[in-house]
Amino acid sequence: MKTMTLIGIILIVVGAVGLIYGGITYATNRNIVDMGPMHVEVRENRQIPVPPIAGAAALATGIVLMVVGRRRHVGSGAV
């Protein structure tokens, strides 16, 4: 698979996730108490917000890269 097509697919996925979910959410674990056999841990959900304009721009750029990558691949004379 060509590099431009692969980058285009990645941008399309990231742009779609940004538009659908409004960002990327992940969880982190943090130790609150660690005394001998007693452990208290807190799971925190964090979010990286993605503005809708950035998601749309990533999606559009990914589509353009895929089209350009396929045209170069088809036009390269490969049989």
Q: What is the pLDDT of residues 10-51, one digit of tens each?
A: 999 989 988 888 877 899 999 888 888 888 999 999 988 888
Residue 75 scores a pLDDT above 90? no
The overall pTM is greater than 0.85: no
Residue 71 scores a pLDDT above 90? no
What is the rounded average pLDDT of the residues 60-77?
A: 80
Number of H helices, E strands in the chain: 2, 2
Pick the closest to residue 4 from 55, 72, 52, 79 (CA basis).
Answer: 72
